[in-house]
Amino acid sequence: MKSFLLAALVAIVTKASAQTAPDGQVPKAGYVPNASTAVSIAEAVLLPLYGSKAIRRERPFRAELRSDSVWVVHSGRYTKGGSYVEISKRDGRILEATIGK
């Protein structure tokens, strides 16, 4: 299962890389252009770290764009200590990842 998720994450990043403009520039909307992409990446990152049972408990995940450059993905339980992932909109880097108890 972990191998499948890692492969899925690699596929997402590879697909995003294929969107690079001919001159090598980052796509105008960044490699993580929307909330659904941010949620997919967050789940792919959290699953091998914390396991599927913990991730199922945290769903549904929500994504909010902050400062027009960082996706903040959190579970519906974030205010009570749920999962939290920060992802760079521009290049897809994981800036922070935590899960609640």
- Say how many domains are in the chain: 1
Global confidence as pTM: 0.72
| Assigned domain for 15 exists | yes
Interacting residues of 75 by C-beta distance below 8 A, sequence separation 6+: 58, 59, 60, 61, 62, 82, 83, 84, 100
| Assigned domain for 6 exists | yes
Of 72, 98, 74, the C-alpha closest to 86 is: 72
| Assigned domain for 37 exists | yes
| Assigned domain for 67 exists | yes
| Assigned domain for 25 exists | no
Question: Could you read off the pLDDT tens digit of each residue along the chain, which spans 101 residues?
Answer: 555 555 555 555 555 555 555 667 878 889 999 999 999 999 999 998 888 888 888 889 999 999 999 999 998 764 566 788 999 999 999 999 887 65
| Assigned domain for 93 exists | yes
Domain that holds residue 36: 2-20+30-98
| Assigned domain for 87 exists | yes
| Assigned domain for 81 exists | yes
Let me know the angle formed at the C-alpha of 91 by 99 and 54, rounded to the nearest 5 degrees.
Answer: 15
